[in-house]
Amino acid sequence: METVRIAELLDPFMETEPSAVLSANQLQSISTYIDLLIRWNTRVNLTAVRQPEDIVTRHFGESLFAARHLFPSPTERTAVARVVDVGSGAGFPGLPIKIFAPQIRLTLIESNQKKATFLREVVRAITLTNVDVFFGRAEDFPVTPSPADVVTLRAVERFDSILPIAARLVAPSGGRLAILIGESQRERVGALIPEVRFAEPVKLPLSSKRVLIIGTKGPS
C-alpha cells in the first residue's frame, strides 16, 4: 500500500505537531506489515477486517492513537520502557507502538501458534529489534524478574478473566495499563481491577463506541 495514502488515513489519529509525524521509514514499515497481513490472512484467520484502508484506520490508527498517548513526547519515545502486549493476535497494538517508539522493549503474548509465527515473520520483515514473542497464555507469562512498565490489551476474548491477569503484569509502582475497548465495557474495568487508577476514557477517532483507557498502579 502506498505510504502517502497510509499517512492520509492515519492523520485523524495523530497529533498535528511535527514530533508526532511518522517518518518515511516508519510508514514503509507499516506498508510492509499491511502487505504481510493481507497475504497471511488468506490462510490464517488474523483479522476480520479485509480492506487495506480499513486495516489502516481500525488496526494501525487505534494502535498509534494509544502509542502517542502512552509516549506523547520525543523524550518518552526514546526511553527504554518494557511493554507487554497481552493477546497480541495480529500484533495490535503492540507492534505499531514499537514502530512509533522504537526504543521500547516489547513482548507480544500470543497463545495461537500460527499467529505467533506470523508475529515473528513481521518482526523479521520490518527488522525490529528488542521484540520477543511469547507463545503461551498470559497467565503463564512470568512477572519476575521485571514487571512491565506498560501493558496493553485490545479486543481480547474472555475480557473479564484476562483483565486481572493483564493487571498482574504491570509494575506495582507507576506501571501503566492501556486498554482499547468498547465504551460499554468501561464500567466493568474499575470493578475488575480496583488496584489500578484510571484516567477518563478518551474516544477513539472515527468511532462512536470505542475508547482508550489508561490506568496507573501505585498509591494515589
Q: What is the CATH number of the domain that holds 83?
A: 3.40.50.150
Residue whose C-alpha is closest to residue 134's, from 175, 94, 177, 80:
94
Query: Count of domains in the chain?
Result: 1
Count CA within 13 A, CB hemisphere, residue 201: 20
Q: Ramachandran region of residue 87, left (φ > 0), alpha (ψ -120 to 50) or beta?
A: left
N-terminal to C-terminal alpha carbon distance within the chain: 45
Residue that the C-alpha cell 514473542 belongs to:
133
Residue spans of beta strands (DSSP E) within 9-139 = 82-86, 105-110, 131-135
- pTM of this structure: 0.94
According to DSSP, residue 22 is labeled: P
Task: Give the span between the Cα atoms of 194 and 191, in whole angstroms.
Answer: 6
Question: Which range of residues forms the domain containing residue 192?
Answer: 3-217
Q: Answer whether residue 39 shows pLDDT above 80.
A: yes
Mean pLDDT of 188-215: 93
Cell numbers at 156, concatenated: 481480547
Task: Give the span between the Cα atoms of 6 and 195, in whole angstroms.
Answer: 38
Contact call for residues 135 and 116 (beta carbons, < 8 A): yes
Q: What pLDDT score was predicted for residue 188? A: 87
Q: Answer whether residue 17 shows pLDDT above 70.
A: no
Residue that the C-alpha cell 474472555 belongs to:
158
According to DSSP, residue 184 is labeled: G
Residue whose C-alpha is closest to residue 153's, from 135, 180, 183:
180
- 75 pLDDT band, cuts 50/70/90, is confident
Q: Answer whether residue 208 shows pLDDT above 90.
A: no
Q: Answer whether residue 8 shows pLDDT above 70.
A: yes
Strand partners, 135: 110
Q: Ramachandran region of residue 27, left (φ > 0), alpha (ψ -120 to 50) or beta?
A: alpha
